[in-house]
Structure formats: C-alpha cells, structure tokens
C-alpha cells in the first residue's frame, strides 16, 4: 500500500522561529491533508491540499503531486503551535486516510 | 456541541473485560471511521463504514468489532481487552469523495491493566 513518510520526526524551536515540515508519499495521490494534534490530543484539520499552495495565517502548505511531496510552513512560531503534525493521504482504494508517523514540534518561549 | 462526540473520554479497564467505545456525529455524513493511535506510530485504521449496511475491516481489525446503529452512530467494541490495546482511539467522519476533509472526535484514552 501507499507509504507516507514525514520528516523530521522531532523539531525544537524558539518562539518566533520559522520551520518547514516535509511529507513524502510513495504513490500518486489526489487527497492530502495536514493535521495538528495539540498537547491535549485533539486533532485539527489544517489543510486539504492535493496540489498547489494554500495559506492560513502563519501557516501555509504546498503540495507538488508530480514529485510526491508536501511541505507545511510555520512562520513566527508560537508556543501554541506545539504538538504533533500529521500528513495523511487517501489510500489507493479510496476508502480511508493513511497517516504518516508525525512530526513532534516543541516551541519554547 | 462538537461535530463528532466520543464517549467515554477516558477509561481504565481490566484484561479480559468487554468494553464499548461510542461515537456520534452531527455532520450528516455517511462515512465513519475508527482509528487507533500509539506513540510514534501515527493513526492506524481499525474499521470503516460507508453507510449503515456497510462495514469494512481496516489495517488492524483483529480483536475489535464495530456496530453502525444509525447514520450518525458508530461504536467500537473490544470483546476481551488485552494490555496491548492500550491506546488513544479516534472516531472520524467524512462526506465521501475526494474533496471532503475528515472531522475527528476528541479521542478516547483507553488503558487496559
């Protein structure tokens, strides 16, 4: 089945720094989503981005489907950005999301 | 009210006990899912259902069963809980098709002792 790999696995930042999280996938996809899991465990959908670029405040995402990767940019990071960021793609049967193992981000003040 | 509600939020149970996790959604979507999260492993699919009469196994269905009682309700059962089923469990719903995002519940943290 399709493989989803995220890097780096862990990231530690000072408040105000910028960061880039990467998601590689092993096959062509037509549904890619980024999620943030906050320290309380809640999963929040950040972007639905099968291709192109989207921005939402300090966060933006770019997916280059032909090269099988997506990037999540976080600018001017804040402590509330801490948590785990997941990339997920629809499996080849089109039945469910397949998740990467996540990037754990820690932002300190 | 949350779009996807999971109960209970936390549960500690003993090995061998039967336990049911419940999920209800107000999105009006047909598709519902159960995922399990273990530290460092991301979320893995247990079961999914595309309508009331449709139930499908996911990647890690052994030891679990589900029931789709209505469009809005999808429950997960552990018939005889074991310690390696200790995990965070998520229910989700989606509208189907490639253009629909997923909405997740707040999770149930299950500990089997």
- Tell me the Cα Rg of chain A: 13
Q: Report the residue of chain A nearest B39, measured CA to CA.
A: A101
Peptide bond into B8 cis (omega under 30): yes
| Mean pLDDT of each 10-residue bin along chain B, 113 residues long | 91 97 95 93 93 94 96 96 97 76 92 97
Q: Which of B30, A49, B102 is nearest to A60 (CA)?
A: A49
Q: What is the pLDDT of residue A63?
A: 96
Question: Would you list the DSSP string of B1-26?
Answer: --SEEEE-SEEEE-TT--EEEEEEE-
What are the tens digits of pLDDT across the range A91-102?
877 788 899 999
Do A5 and A24 contact (CB within 8 A), yes or no? yes
Whether A97 and B104 lie within 8 Å, measured CB to CB? no
B26 token code pair: 């107000």
Q: What is the mean pLDDT of chain A?
A: 93
Residuewise pLDDT in 10s, chain A (109 residues):
889 999 999 999 999 999 999 999 998 887 899 999 998 889 999 999 989 999 999 999 999 999 999 999 999 999 999 999 999 998 877 788 899 999 999 999 9
Minimal CA separation from B23 to chain A, in Å = 15
Q: By the CB < 8 Å criterion, does B95 face chain A?
A: no
């Amino acid at each position: 089945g399709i493989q989803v790999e995220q890097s780096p696995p862990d990231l530690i930042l000072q408040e105000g720094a910028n960061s880039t999280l990467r998601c590689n996938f092993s096959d062509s996809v037509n549904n890619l989503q980024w999620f943030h899991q906050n320290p309380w465990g809640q999963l929040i959908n950040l972007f639905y981005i099968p291709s192109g670029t989207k921005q939402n405040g300090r966060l933006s995402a770019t997916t280059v489907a032909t090269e099988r990767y997506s990037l999540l940019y976080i600018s001017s990071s804040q402590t509330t950005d801490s948590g785990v960021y997941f990339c997920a793609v629809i499996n080849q049967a089109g039945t469910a999301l397949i998740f990467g193992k996540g990037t754990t981000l820690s932002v300190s003040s | 009210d949350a779009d996807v509600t999971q109960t209970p939020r936390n549960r500690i149970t003993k090995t061998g006990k039967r336990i049911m996790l419940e999920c209800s959604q107000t999105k009006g979507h047909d598709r519902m899912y159960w995922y399990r999260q273990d530290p460092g492993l991301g979320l893995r699919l247990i079961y999914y259902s595309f309508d009331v009469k449709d139930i499908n196994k996911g990647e890690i269905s052994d030891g679990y069963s589900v029931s789709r009682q209505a469009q809005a309700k999808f429950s997960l059962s552990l018939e005889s809980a074991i310690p390696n089923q200790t995990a965070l469990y998520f229910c989700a719903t989606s509208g189907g098709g490639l253009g629909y995002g997923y909405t997740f519940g707040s999770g149930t943290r299950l500990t089997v002792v």
